Amino acid sequence: MRTITDIADAVRRDERITPQEALTLWREAPLWLLGELAVARKVKASGREVYYNRNVHLEPTNICLFNCEFCSFRRREGDKDAWYMSLDEVEARAKELRGTDITEVHIVGGVHPKHDLDTYCAMIRRVKGALPHVTVKAYTAVEIFYMIRHEGVSVVEGLRRLMEAGMECIPGGGAEIFDSAIREKICPEKCSADEWLAVHRAAHNMGIATNCTMLYGHIESLEHRVDHLNRLRMLQDEAPGFDAFIPLKYHSRGNRLGQVGECSVEDDLRMIAISRIFLDNIPHIKAYWVSYGKATTEMALAFGADDIDGTIGDTTKIYSMAGGVDRPSMSVDELEAMVVDAGFVPVERDSHYNVVEHDAKQVEQVEQVQAAKVTPEAAISELKAEVVVPAKEEPRLRREKAMRVLYDEPVEEKQAVKSAEVKEKAKENINQDKSMSQGDNAQPQGGSAAKSSKGDNGGSIGRLFRRMPVIANMVVICILGIIALVMLYVGLRFGTRHGQSIEVPNFLGMTIEQARDVANSDDLQIIVRDSIFDVDLPGGMVVDQLPRTSSVREVTVKPGRKIYVTINAYSRRIVDIPYVAKQTLRQALNQIERSGLTVDRLIYEPDMTSTDYVLKQFVGRKEILPATNATGQVGTGVTLRVSYRRDEQHTYTPRLVGLSLQQAKSALWDNGLNVGDVVYDDSVEDMISRRKARVYRQSKSIGAEVRRGGDVTLYLTCDEALADSMSIIAEREARSVEQERMKRRLAQDSLAQETM
């Protein structure tokens, strides 16, 4: 398994990373490193440009057949805040948009029980009839799969009919989380992950561009997120067609998952960054500003996003009803200002990421203003030479020149400078004419002779620039270039201490005071970038550092370099203990993890109705009730009493080999099991090395059927070769177990069909 440093170097070399490496980055890399790597990927994919478009949303109804746990948009027919637009109303709304500058109409909504494929096609035709120049991006794969299944035709046939009606591309909604267990809990009535992927696969093969999404920040784990990204990457390898990936943040207002809360801004930025790093074959990563808000969206541009969606014009309620941006609308000026403030170049696009050119007109207007303000012909020529864009110049260069003229160099200031230059040149020419008219007989005396000589030299230089401007400018550029090279050489030689290097000390296990003493003696700086709390370690001990040392090579840095360390906190932070009973086990585990707590034990009790439903919770012997205002230190253990149905009292042991101790604990809890004994081998020498140890053996074999609440003993090692080899064996075993389980399931299905 590669270290963080190895993975980061691979990303910088533009290499593809594995799902396990993505998890490592997600969990262990500092935020600044993720930003650096993601922006490097972004620049290679789309340069310094950030895209936006002029769009509106059309949401014909919020009445929906499906009743997803996370949805705040859905209403039942008859609810007071339900709405439904007829085809005539859809057409009338489209006609209202005539004369606007929009380039895209985005149509999504609830899956209405009265809508069929013909209805959806007619809706597109009405919109295209009113707005023939506008691209229609219509219907999620969930809507498309439902209408096609309802019609009884193939996916290809359904997509063909939608294309004939005027649909040009497909949005990415409805993907949620691909993991079947999570999907069963949050959106059991929707199409499956395979069906969602099948719609997009067929669309790509037919030449229809699509987007893809993930709804994150609810009850899913990081493993579920990476699995989701990996399935998208594999489909893009198999059938390219995704234009952009859009991470959609879960918002908690007005839905049944609200008690799980919402993830932090740091989690949002990590999500954006990992998406850009991992999805190396999807061109664009969109930070949907309606979901994130303006501030987080601007930060997301520094973590790999290169698209912020569009103007929208207060035409969507899906996110505002869940607690996102209320009445979402931004002007082009606001969108561009956001991008410029983040240090990037705003670019207007259409639905297919073709650049929409407005800049040529802007440059022409600027030139007209300049020509009107400056009368001397020479000044006008110079200004035009700076701002006129050749007809065949690249669009990106035209945009950048327009941006410089419109934003970086105010016209009034520039004209003032040019006018002053023209006046100065005119004065100089007059003086020269007077001197020439006096003839050779008028000889200046003393100091006047020196001044005359100096004036002649100045006039010669001025005439040189006027008569041969290209050669003169080349001479100046060469001189400036030589000066710059000399300065660069001096700066590199003395500023970067070229040729000097220091071997990075191993600070792990030192106190922060000891680490600073060692760093000072080696001309290094110690920066504390994070802290954790491990009850087994003393406060102030260094538990991680970047750059790390290596047992196989010498890691060196230049003098004065900063070494970033993570220390063990001196005292544990006090946190609130959330009430997690009366919800699913996964939801409870998610809240416990977010609160900085841990699980002491899962105790299963029989129940008539459900499995993996939390009945009660305890801290020590104290039961936590809804009205209990309990607090505890970070790392406090919570005991959960969990239900199981009589026919579901068994579960299966997951693959734990290759995981860290914390990862293995989470995997066991997710499967309704407890951590038994934890045994370290001789390679684990001290408390610090325990943090690096990985599981190389587990007491219950992979896929073994065990009672819920049972214990699994874990054996850990710091021997990388042992852990890697055992992990490969375990992965093969897990695949074999899954294949065998699939065969049994197919056989049972076949037997059931025969008996019917």
Residue 372 token pair: 């009107």
Reported confidence tier of residue 394, pLDDT bands at 50, 70, 90 = very low
Cα torsion through 72, 73, 76, 78, rounded to 10: 110
First to last CA, the chain: 50
Predicted confidence (pLDDT) at residue 618 exceeds the cutoff of 90: yes
The H or E element spanning position 348 is strand 345-348
- Single-letter amino acid, residue 102: I
pLDDT score for 626: 86
Which of 568, 584, 610 is the C-terminal boundary of a domain? 568
- Poorest-confidence range of 138-152, 186-200, 242-256, 367-381? 367-381
Nearest-5° angle of CA 729, CA 730, CA 733? 90
Nearest-5° angle of CA 712, CA 713, CA 719? 130
268 and 290, same domain (yes or no): yes
109 and 175, same domain (yes or no): yes
Give me the domain span that covers residue 387. 358-431
Q: What is the pLDDT of residues 233-281, one digit of tens each?
A: 999 999 999 999 999 999 888 888 877 888 889 999 999 999 999 999 9
pLDDT score for 691: 79
Reported confidence tier of residue 229, pLDDT bands at 50, 70, 90 = very high
Whole-number percent of the chain with pLDDT over 90: 46
179 and 76, same domain (yes or no): yes
Q: What is the DSSP string of 296-337?
A: HHHHHGGGT--EEEEEE-S---TTGGGTS-SS----HHHHHH
| C-beta atoms surrounding 129 within 10 Å | 12
Does the residue 274 lie in any domain? Answer: yes
Residue 245 Cα distances to 287, 315, 334, 392, angstroms = 9, 22, 23, 33
**Residues in CB range of 305: below 8 A, 6 or more apart:** 42, 50, 272, 276, 285, 286, 287, 297
Does the residue 633 lie in any domain? Answer: no
Reported confidence tier of residue 461, pLDDT bands at 50, 70, 90 = low
184 and 318, same domain (yes or no): yes
Residue 465 token pair: 């620039």
- Single-letter amino acid, residue 478: C
- Poorest-confidence range of 16-30, 299-313, 459-473, 710-724? 459-473
Mean pLDDT of 366-395: 37
β-strand partners of 532: 568
Q: How far is CA 714 from the centre of its chain?
A: 35
389 and 462, same domain (yes or no): no
DSSP state letter for 258: G
pLDDT score for 65: 86
Q: Select the more confidently predicted residue: 423 or 730.
A: 730
User: Nearest Cα to 605, choosing from 506, 696, 726, 709?
Assistant: 709
Residue 364 token pair: 């022409």
- Poorest-confidence range of 330-344, 459-473, 628-642? 459-473
Q: How far is CA 245 from the centre of its chain?
A: 9
Q: How far is CA 178 from the centre of its chain?
A: 18
- Single-letter amino acid, residue 395: P
Helix (H), strand (E), coil (C) string for 572-596: CCEEECCCCCCCEHHHHHHHHHHCC
The answer to whether the beta carbons of residues 108 and 147 sit under 8 Å apart is: no
- Single-letter amino acid, residue 159: L
Which of 520, 548, 568 is the C-terminal boundary of a domain? 568
Does the residue 605 lie in any domain? Answer: no
Enumerate the H helices of 585-707 as residue ranges.
585-594, 661-670, 687-690
As a whole number of angstroms, the distance between CA 571 and CA 568 comes to: 9
Mean pLDDT of 403-414: 41
Residue 470 Cα distances to 326, 386, 457, 473, 635, angstroms = 57, 14, 20, 5, 71
Mean pLDDT of 680-700: 88
pLDDT score for 459: 54
- Poorest-confidence range of 341-355, 468-482, 595-609? 468-482
State the chain's maximal CA–CA distance in angstroms: 126
Taken as a whole, the chain contains a residue count of 756
User: Strand 622-623 vs strand 650-652: parallel, antiparallel, or unpaired?
Assistant: unpaired
Exposure class string for 732-747: b at 16+ Cβ within 10 A, else e: eeeeebeeeeeeeeee
User: Nearest Cα to 692, choosing from 727, 666, 717?
Assistant: 717
As a whole number of angstroms, the distance between CA 670 and CA 659 comes to: 14
Reported confidence tier of residue 455, pLDDT bands at 50, 70, 90 = very low
User: Nearest Cα to 602, choosing from 591, 590, 616?
Assistant: 616
Q: Select the more confidently predicted residue: 184 or 400.
A: 184
Q: Select the more confidently predicted residue: 609 or 151.
A: 151
CATH number at residue 724: 3.30.10.20
Q: Select the more confidently predicted residue: 60 or 499.
A: 60
Enumerate the H helices of 187-263 as residue ranges.
193-205, 222-238
398 and 321, same domain (yes or no): no
Reported confidence tier of residue 423, pLDDT bands at 50, 70, 90 = very low
As a whole number of angstroms, the distance between CA 594 and CA 586 comes to: 12
58 and 177, same domain (yes or no): yes
152 and 130, same domain (yes or no): yes
As a whole number of angstroms, the distance between CA 127 and CA 57 comes to: 12
β-strand partners of 675: 712
Mean pLDDT of 520-533: 84
Which of 348, 372, 389 is the C-terminal boundary of a domain? 348
Reported confidence tier of residue 385, pLDDT bands at 50, 70, 90 = very low
- Poorest-confidence range of 35-39, 189-193, 593-597, 719-723? 593-597
As a whole number of angstroms, the distance between CA 125 and CA 118 comes to: 10
407 and 326, same domain (yes or no): no
As a whole number of angstroms, the distance between CA 715 and CA 657 comes to: 9
Reported confidence tier of residue 584, pLDDT bands at 50, 70, 90 = confident
225 and 340, same domain (yes or no): yes
Does the residue 611 lie in any domain? Answer: no
Mean pLDDT score of the chain: 82
Q: What is the pLDDT of residues 322-363, one digit of tens each?
A: 666 667 889 999 999 999 999 999 999 999 999 987 545 444
Does the residue 72 lie in any domain? Answer: yes
Cα torsion through 126, 128, 130, 131, rounded to 10: 160
Does the residue 94 lie in any domain? Answer: yes
Only one residue has tokens 């009803």, namely 321
Mean pLDDT of 379-404: 39
| C-beta atoms surrounding 41 within 10 Å | 22
- Single-letter amino acid, residue 694: R
What SS3 class is residue 630?
coil
- Poorest-confidence range of 198-212, 276-290, 379-393, 462-476? 379-393
- Poorest-confidence range of 312-326, 363-377, 511-525, 738-752? 363-377
pLDDT score for 698: 95
pLDDT score for 714: 95
pLDDT score for 363: 40
The H or E element spanning position 730 is helix 720-755
Reported confidence tier of residue 383, pLDDT bands at 50, 70, 90 = very low
Helix (H), strand (E), coil (C) string for 405-417: HHHHCCHHHHHHH
- Poorest-confidence range of 7-16, 96-105, 312-321, 432-441? 432-441
Does the residue 691 lie in any domain? Answer: yes
478 and 508, same domain (yes or no): no
User: Nearest Cα to 57, choosing from 136, 169, 118?
Assistant: 136
Number of domains in the chain: 5
The answer to whether the beta carbons of residues 614 and 708 sit under 8 Å apart is: no
The answer to whether the beta carbons of residues 592 and 612 sit under 8 Å apart is: no
DSSP state letter for 530: E
Nearest-5° angle of CA 68, CA 71, CA 75? 90
343 and 382, same domain (yes or no): no
Query: 247: burial class by Cβ within 10 Å (0-12, 13-18, 19+)?
Result: buried
Query: 526: burial class by Cβ within 10 Å (0-12, 13-18, 19+)?
Result: buried
Does the residue 6 lie in any domain? Answer: no
Exposure class string for 415-432: b at 16+ Cβ within 10 A, else e: beebeeebeeeeeeeeeb
pLDDT score for 399: 42
Whole-number percent of the chain with pLDDT over 70: 81
Predicted confidence (pLDDT) at residue 730 exceeds the cutoff of 70: yes
Long-range contacts, 677-684 (Cβ 8 Å, 24+): 677/711, 677/713, 677/714, 678/713, 678/714, 678/716, 679/713, 679/714, 679/715, 679/716, 680/715, 680/716, 680/717, 681/715, 681/716, 681/717, 681/719, 683/717, 683/718, 683/719, 683/722, 684/716, 684/717, 684/718
Predicted confidence (pLDDT) at residue 421 exceeds the cutoff of 60: no
Model's pTM, two decimal places? 0.52
The answer to whether the beta carbons of residues 218 and 250 sit under 8 Å apart is: yes
Exposure class string for 439-466: b at 16+ Cβ within 10 A, else e: eeeeeeeeeeeeeeeeeeeebeeeeeee
pLDDT score for 370: 38
- Poorest-confidence range of 29-33, 40-44, 110-114, 243-247? 110-114
Predicted confidence (pLDDT) at residue 439 exceeds the cutoff of 90: no
pLDDT score for 488: 74
CATH number at residue 238: 3.20.20.70
